[in-house]
Structure 1
Amino acid sequence: MFVRPFQLSDYASITSLFNEVLSEECCGETLEAFAKQLSLDPDLVLVSVMNDEVVGIIIGTIDQRNQGYYYRIAVAPQYQRMGIGKSLINGLKQRFIQRKVSQILVTVDVHNEPILPVYEAVGYTDRNFSRSYRHLRIVSGR
Structure 2
Amino acid sequence: MRVRDFKPEDMERVLEIEHESFKDPYPRSLLEHIHNLHPDGFMIAEINDEIVGYIIGVMRWGGTGHVLAVAVSPPYRRRGVGKSLMVNMMDRLQRKGASRIRIEVRASNTVAQSFYQKLNFRQRRIVPSYYSDGEAAILMQYTFSD
Question: TM-score under structure 2 normalisation?
Answer: 0.78
Cα distance in 2, alignment partners of residues 79 and 120 from structure 1 = 20
- CA distance 1:37–1:106, shift in 2 (3 Å): same
Question: 5 Å matches for 1:22-33?
Answer: 22-23=22-23, 26-27=24-25, 29=26, 31-33=28-30
Aligned to 1:17: 17
Cα drift, residue 51 of structure 1: 0.8
RMSD: 2.4
Aligned to 2:119: 122
Cα drift, residue 79 of structure 1: 0.3
Check conservation: 1:67, 1:102, Cα contact below 8 A.
Answer: yes
Deviations 1:58-83 (A, max 9, x none): 11122133310111111011000001
Cα distance in 1, alignment partners of residues 62 and 77 from structure 2 = 33
Check conservation: 1:107, 1:132, Cα contact below 8 A.
Answer: no
| Structure with greater contact order relative to length (CA < 8 Å, sep ≥ 6) | 1
Check conservation: 2:45, 2:52, Cα contact below 8 A.
Answer: yes
Higher strand share: 2
Q: Which has the larger radius of gyration?
A: 2
Aligned to 1:4: 4
- CA distance 1:133–1:60, shift in 2 (3 Å): farther
- CA distance 1:21–1:80, shift in 2 (3 Å): same
Gaps of 5+ in 1: 137-142
Aligned to 1:140: none
% identical aligned pairs: 27
Cα drift, residue 107 of structure 1: 2.2
Paired residues in the alignment total: 132
Question: TM-score under structure 1 normalisation?
Answer: 0.80
Gaps of 5+ in 2: 133-146
Cα drift, residue 114 of structure 1: 4.2
